[in-house]
Amino acid sequence: AQKVTQAQTEISVVEKEDVTLDCVYETRDTTYYLFWYKQPPSGELVFLIRRNSFDEQNEISGRYSWNFQKSTSSFNFTITASQVVDSAVYFCALLRFSNTGKLIFGQGTTLQVKP
């Protein structure tokens, strides 16, 4: 069975703090993809990153970084020096390699960044 768990329901930080959003996934597949999406209050889903299971290199994009660890089935997302505009719901998602487009989403983590 495929499953994504985001144990943190809500996180509140003060601007400029670093924050890490956790994502743990379950799959029996050896090849798969992991995603992070941002959902601001306006409701749309904004793609942040896609990672395939063969690439465990951590990635940094500006203030965002991702830590993929296959050994612990985790794909955590860190925002450095958080800003109020980072306030949103963040979803982690899993896609089987053989399954085109059927994403399995986690429950989401609501991040509130206070000024």
The binding site for other proteins (CB under 8 A) comprises: 33, 35, 37, 42-45, 47, 50, 91, 93, 95, 97, 99-108
Minimum Å gap between C-beta 100 and other proteins is 5
Cα 38 from Cα 61, distance rounded (Å): 15
Minimum Å gap between C-beta 21 and other proteins is 14
> Closest CB to other proteins among 101 and 115?
101
> Closest CB to other proteins among 94 and 113?
94
Give the phi and the psi of residue 86 in degrees, each rounded to 5.
Answer: -80, -10
Q: Where are the beta strands (DSSP E) in 31-73?
A: 32-39, 46-52, 59-61, 64-69
Minimum Å gap between C-beta 51 and other proteins is 12
Among the listed residues 14, 15, 22, the one whose alpha carbon sits nearest the alpha carbon of residue 91: 22
